[in-house]
Protein backbone atom coordinates (compact mmCIF):
# COMPACT_ATOMS: atom_id res chain seq x y z
CA UNK A 1 0.00 0.00 0.00
CA UNK A 2 1.30 3.43 -0.91
CA UNK A 3 2.48 5.86 1.72
CA UNK A 4 0.72 9.19 2.34
CA UNK A 5 2.38 12.36 3.67
CA UNK A 6 0.46 15.46 4.78
CA UNK A 7 2.12 18.85 5.18
CA UNK A 8 0.60 22.01 6.63
CA UNK A 9 1.82 25.46 7.63
CA UNK A 10 0.44 28.99 7.88
CA UNK A 11 -0.14 29.10 4.11
CA UNK A 12 -2.30 25.97 3.84
CA UNK A 13 -1.89 22.21 3.49
CA UNK A 14 -1.31 19.53 0.89
CA UNK A 15 -1.12 15.74 0.61
CA UNK A 16 1.29 13.62 -1.44
CA UNK A 17 1.10 9.87 -2.12
CA UNK A 18 4.21 7.77 -2.73
CA UNK A 19 2.86 6.19 -5.92
CA UNK A 20 3.62 8.62 -8.71
CA UNK A 21 4.68 11.27 -6.17
CA UNK A 22 1.02 12.24 -6.62
CA UNK A 23 -0.40 15.51 -5.32
CA UNK A 24 -3.78 14.42 -3.92
CA UNK A 25 -5.01 17.56 -2.17
CA UNK A 26 -4.12 21.25 -1.94
CA UNK A 27 -5.77 23.60 0.54
CA UNK A 28 -4.95 27.31 0.02
CA UNK A 29 -6.86 30.45 0.92
CA UNK A 30 -9.44 28.59 2.94
CA UNK A 31 -10.54 26.21 0.18
CA UNK A 32 -9.63 22.86 -1.34
CA UNK A 33 -8.51 23.27 -4.95
CA UNK A 34 -8.24 19.65 -6.09
CA UNK A 35 -10.91 17.06 -6.83
CA UNK A 36 -11.03 14.01 -4.54
CA UNK A 37 -11.12 10.67 -6.40
CA UNK A 38 -10.79 8.48 -3.32
CA UNK A 39 -9.96 4.86 -4.14
CA UNK A 40 -10.16 5.63 -7.87
CA UNK A 41 -7.29 8.15 -7.81
CA UNK A 42 -4.84 5.89 -9.64
CA UNK A 43 -7.38 5.07 -12.36
CA UNK A 44 -7.23 8.79 -13.19
CA UNK A 45 -3.49 9.28 -12.48
CA UNK A 46 -4.68 12.00 -10.13
CA UNK A 47 -1.92 14.51 -9.37
CA UNK A 48 0.79 12.20 -10.69
CA UNK A 49 4.23 13.05 -12.00
CA UNK A 50 4.46 12.10 -15.69
CA UNK A 51 7.93 11.06 -16.88
CA UNK A 52 9.67 10.59 -19.30
CA UNK A 53 6.75 11.99 -21.28
CA UNK A 54 3.21 13.20 -20.53
CA UNK A 55 0.03 12.81 -22.57
CA UNK A 56 0.28 10.60 -25.68
CA UNK A 57 3.18 10.46 -28.09
CA UNK A 58 2.23 11.62 -31.58
CA UNK A 59 3.48 8.28 -32.93
CA UNK A 60 1.37 6.38 -30.43
CA UNK A 61 4.15 4.16 -29.08
CA UNK A 62 7.48 4.95 -30.79
CA UNK A 63 9.96 7.26 -29.07
CA UNK A 64 12.64 8.55 -31.46
CA UNK A 65 15.95 9.91 -30.16
CA UNK A 66 19.34 10.37 -31.82
CA UNK A 67 18.53 8.03 -34.69
CA UNK A 68 17.17 5.22 -32.52
CA UNK A 69 13.60 4.05 -31.93
CA UNK A 70 12.25 2.89 -28.57
CA UNK A 71 8.98 0.98 -28.74
CA UNK A 72 6.81 1.58 -25.69
CA UNK A 73 4.09 -0.82 -24.56
CA UNK A 74 0.51 0.31 -25.04
CA UNK A 75 -1.23 1.23 -21.78
CA UNK A 76 -4.06 3.20 -23.40
CA UNK A 77 -5.93 0.60 -25.45
CA UNK A 78 -8.69 2.99 -26.46
CA UNK A 79 -6.22 5.24 -28.28
CA UNK A 80 -3.61 2.57 -29.12
CA UNK A 81 -0.92 4.59 -27.39
CA UNK A 82 1.62 4.85 -24.60
CA UNK A 83 0.24 7.33 -22.07
CA UNK A 84 1.91 9.36 -19.27
CA UNK A 85 5.27 7.58 -19.36
CA UNK A 86 5.64 5.19 -16.42
CA UNK A 87 6.17 7.19 -13.21
CA UNK A 88 2.44 7.51 -12.29
CA UNK A 89 2.64 3.84 -11.25
CA UNK A 90 6.08 3.86 -9.61
CA UNK A 91 6.69 4.10 -5.85
CA UNK A 92 8.64 7.15 -4.69
CA UNK A 93 10.35 7.50 -1.32
CA UNK A 94 8.76 10.35 0.64
CA UNK A 95 10.34 12.52 3.31
CA UNK A 96 9.35 15.70 5.10
CA UNK A 97 11.50 18.79 4.63
CA UNK A 98 11.25 22.13 6.41
CA UNK A 99 8.96 23.76 3.83
CA UNK A 100 7.19 20.76 2.33
CA UNK A 101 7.62 17.21 1.05
CA UNK A 102 10.28 15.61 -1.13
CA UNK A 103 9.78 12.46 -3.22
CA UNK A 104 12.68 10.49 -4.72
CA UNK A 105 12.77 7.66 -7.25
CA UNK A 106 15.78 5.84 -8.70
CA UNK A 107 15.54 4.11 -12.07
CA UNK A 108 18.15 1.57 -13.19
CA UNK A 109 17.48 1.83 -16.95
CA UNK A 110 16.35 -1.81 -17.16
CA UNK A 111 13.36 -1.23 -19.46
CA UNK A 112 14.45 -1.70 -23.07
CA UNK A 113 12.02 0.98 -24.23
CA UNK A 114 13.74 3.53 -21.94
CA UNK A 115 17.34 2.42 -21.24
CA UNK A 116 18.34 5.64 -19.47
CA UNK A 117 19.18 5.28 -15.74
CA UNK A 118 18.36 8.34 -13.68
CA UNK A 119 17.10 9.69 -10.42
CA UNK A 120 14.04 11.92 -10.05
CA UNK A 121 13.67 14.24 -7.09
CA UNK A 122 10.26 15.89 -6.76
CA UNK A 123 10.00 18.74 -4.27
CA UNK A 124 6.70 20.29 -3.16
CA UNK A 125 7.08 23.55 -1.22
CA UNK A 126 4.18 25.59 0.18
CA UNK A 127 4.74 29.31 0.79
CA UNK A 128 2.88 32.61 0.55
CA UNK A 129 3.46 32.40 -3.23
CA UNK A 130 1.51 29.13 -3.44
CA UNK A 131 2.67 25.57 -4.05
CA UNK A 132 5.83 25.09 -6.09
CA UNK A 133 6.44 21.73 -7.80
CA UNK A 134 10.04 21.06 -8.78
CA UNK A 135 11.42 18.07 -10.66
CA UNK A 136 15.17 17.44 -10.81
CA UNK A 137 16.32 14.80 -13.30
CA UNK A 138 19.80 13.43 -12.63
CA UNK A 139 21.33 11.38 -15.45
CA UNK A 140 23.24 8.49 -13.84
CA UNK A 141 24.03 6.75 -17.15
CA UNK A 142 26.77 7.04 -19.75
CA UNK A 143 24.66 8.39 -22.64
CA UNK A 144 22.46 11.45 -23.12
CA UNK A 145 19.00 11.12 -21.58
CA UNK A 146 15.85 12.39 -23.37
CA UNK A 147 12.72 13.32 -21.46
CA UNK A 148 9.66 15.47 -21.08
CA UNK A 149 7.92 16.19 -17.83
CA UNK A 150 4.41 16.97 -16.69
CA UNK A 151 1.99 16.99 -13.75
CA UNK A 152 -1.59 15.75 -13.73
CA UNK A 153 -3.62 17.73 -11.14
CA UNK A 154 -7.43 17.72 -11.33
CA UNK A 155 -9.05 20.96 -10.18
CA UNK A 156 -12.57 21.36 -8.86
CA UNK A 157 -14.82 23.26 -11.27
CA UNK A 158 -18.41 24.32 -11.78
CA UNK A 159 -20.47 23.25 -14.78
CA UNK A 160 -18.52 25.50 -17.16
CA UNK A 161 -14.85 26.03 -16.28
CA UNK A 162 -13.53 29.52 -16.92
CA UNK A 163 -10.10 29.93 -18.50
CA UNK A 164 -9.15 33.60 -18.33
CA UNK A 165 -6.57 33.34 -21.12
CA UNK A 166 -8.03 31.96 -24.33
CA UNK A 167 -5.67 29.63 -26.24
CA UNK A 168 -4.43 30.86 -29.61
CA UNK A 169 -3.93 27.44 -31.20
CA UNK A 170 -4.08 23.76 -30.39
CA UNK A 171 -2.62 20.52 -31.71
CA UNK A 172 -5.00 18.75 -34.04
CA UNK A 173 -5.76 15.14 -33.12
CA UNK A 174 -6.11 12.20 -35.48
CA UNK A 175 -8.81 9.52 -35.30
CA UNK A 176 -7.15 7.90 -32.26
CA UNK A 177 -6.37 11.20 -30.48
CA UNK A 178 -2.64 11.32 -31.17
CA UNK A 179 -1.45 14.97 -31.33
CA UNK A 180 -0.59 16.33 -34.77
CA UNK A 181 -0.35 19.66 -36.56
CA UNK A 182 -0.83 23.11 -35.02
CA UNK A 183 -4.26 24.55 -35.90
CA UNK A 184 -6.29 27.62 -34.80
CA UNK A 185 -8.27 27.32 -31.57
CA UNK A 186 -12.03 27.39 -32.16
CA UNK A 187 -13.29 27.42 -28.58
CA UNK A 188 -14.08 25.01 -25.77
CA UNK A 189 -17.30 23.00 -25.79
CA UNK A 190 -17.56 21.84 -22.16
CA UNK A 191 -20.67 19.78 -22.98
CA UNK A 192 -18.33 17.42 -24.85
CA UNK A 193 -15.20 15.67 -23.61
CA UNK A 194 -12.22 18.00 -23.79
CA UNK A 195 -8.81 16.42 -24.30
CA UNK A 196 -5.97 18.17 -26.10
CA UNK A 197 -2.82 20.27 -26.09
CA UNK A 198 -3.42 24.03 -26.25
CA UNK A 199 -1.08 26.96 -26.84
CA UNK A 200 -1.46 29.35 -23.90
CA UNK A 201 0.94 32.04 -22.67
CA UNK A 202 -0.46 31.74 -19.15
CA UNK A 203 -3.03 29.59 -17.37
CA UNK A 204 -5.73 30.94 -15.09
CA UNK A 205 -8.65 28.72 -14.08
CA UNK A 206 -11.06 30.97 -12.17
CA UNK A 207 -8.95 32.34 -9.30
CA UNK A 208 -6.28 29.64 -9.70
CA UNK A 209 -3.11 30.41 -11.62
CA UNK A 210 -0.87 27.61 -12.91
CA UNK A 211 2.58 28.35 -14.29
CA UNK A 212 3.03 26.72 -17.71
CA UNK A 213 6.14 24.66 -18.44
CA UNK A 214 6.18 25.29 -22.20
CA UNK A 215 4.18 26.90 -24.98
CA UNK A 216 1.55 24.16 -24.71
CA UNK A 217 -0.61 22.90 -21.84
CA UNK A 218 -2.79 19.81 -21.83
CA UNK A 219 -6.44 20.18 -20.82
CA UNK A 220 -8.65 17.16 -20.09
CA UNK A 221 -12.23 17.03 -18.84
CA UNK A 222 -14.94 14.42 -19.42
CA UNK A 223 -18.23 16.00 -20.49
CA UNK A 224 -19.80 17.96 -17.61
CA UNK A 225 -17.45 16.45 -14.99
CA UNK A 226 -16.96 18.34 -11.68
CA UNK A 227 -13.23 18.51 -12.39
CA UNK A 228 -10.76 19.47 -15.10
CA UNK A 229 -7.12 18.43 -15.46
CA UNK A 230 -4.91 21.40 -16.29
CA UNK A 231 -1.57 19.74 -17.02
CA UNK A 232 1.62 21.81 -17.25
CA UNK A 233 3.98 19.91 -19.57
CA UNK A 234 7.44 20.61 -20.99
CA UNK A 235 6.46 18.98 -24.27
CA UNK A 236 5.48 15.60 -25.68
CA UNK A 237 6.74 13.01 -28.15
CA UNK A 238 6.05 15.27 -31.13
CA UNK A 239 8.32 16.54 -33.94
CA UNK A 240 7.69 20.19 -33.01
CA UNK A 241 8.71 19.71 -29.38
CA UNK A 242 12.28 18.35 -29.14
CA UNK A 243 13.19 16.26 -26.13
CA UNK A 244 14.87 17.92 -23.19
CA UNK A 245 18.35 16.39 -22.97
CA UNK A 246 20.42 15.65 -19.87
CA UNK A 247 24.10 14.81 -20.47
CA UNK A 248 25.79 11.97 -18.54
CA UNK A 249 26.50 12.94 -14.94
CA UNK A 250 24.47 16.16 -15.22
CA UNK A 251 21.00 17.23 -14.08
CA UNK A 252 18.08 19.28 -15.37
CA UNK A 253 15.31 20.93 -13.37
CA UNK A 254 11.81 22.18 -14.15
CA UNK A 255 9.51 24.17 -11.86
CA UNK A 256 5.84 25.08 -11.92
CA UNK A 257 3.57 26.72 -9.34
CA UNK A 258 -0.10 26.62 -8.34
CA UNK A 259 -1.41 29.69 -6.56
CA UNK A 260 -4.53 31.71 -5.89
CA UNK A 261 -4.71 35.12 -7.53
CA UNK A 262 -4.62 37.98 -5.04
CA UNK A 263 -7.73 40.12 -5.18
User: pLDDT tens digits for 227-244?
Assistant: 999 999 999 878 888 999
Average pLDDT of the residues in 121-144: 97
- CB-CB contact of 163 with 135 (8 Å): no
106, burial (CB in 10 Å: exposed 0-12, middle 13-18, buried 19+): middle
Q: In angstroms, what CA-CA distances link 1 with 41, 43, 84, 122?
A: 13, 15, 22, 20
CATH number for position 251: 2.70.98.10
φ/ψ of 208, rounded to 5, equals -95, 130
Range of 87's domain? Answer: 4-260
Give how many domains the chain has, as a whole number.
1
- The whole-number pLDDT of residue 164 equals 78
- The whole-number pLDDT of residue 1 equals 66
Place 263 in a pLDDT band, splitting at 50, 70 and 90.
low
Res 248 pLDDT > 70: yes
The candidate with the shortest Cα–Cα distance to 141, out of 167, 95, 169, 106, is 106
Res 251 pLDDT > 70: yes
Res 159 pLDDT > 80: no
- The whole-number pLDDT of residue 238 equals 82
DSSP SS3 for 25: strand
pTM summary value: 0.94
Cα–Cα distance measured from residue 142 to residue 12, given in angstroms and rounded to the nearest whole number: 42
Amino acid sequence: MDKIEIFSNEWGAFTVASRGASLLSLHIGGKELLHEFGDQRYDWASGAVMFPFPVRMSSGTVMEFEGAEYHWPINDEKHRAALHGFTPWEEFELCRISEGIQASWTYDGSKDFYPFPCQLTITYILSKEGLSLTCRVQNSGTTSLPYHMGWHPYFKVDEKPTLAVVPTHRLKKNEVSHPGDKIPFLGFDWAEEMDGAFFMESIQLGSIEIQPLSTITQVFRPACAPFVAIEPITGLGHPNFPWRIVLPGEADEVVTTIRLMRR
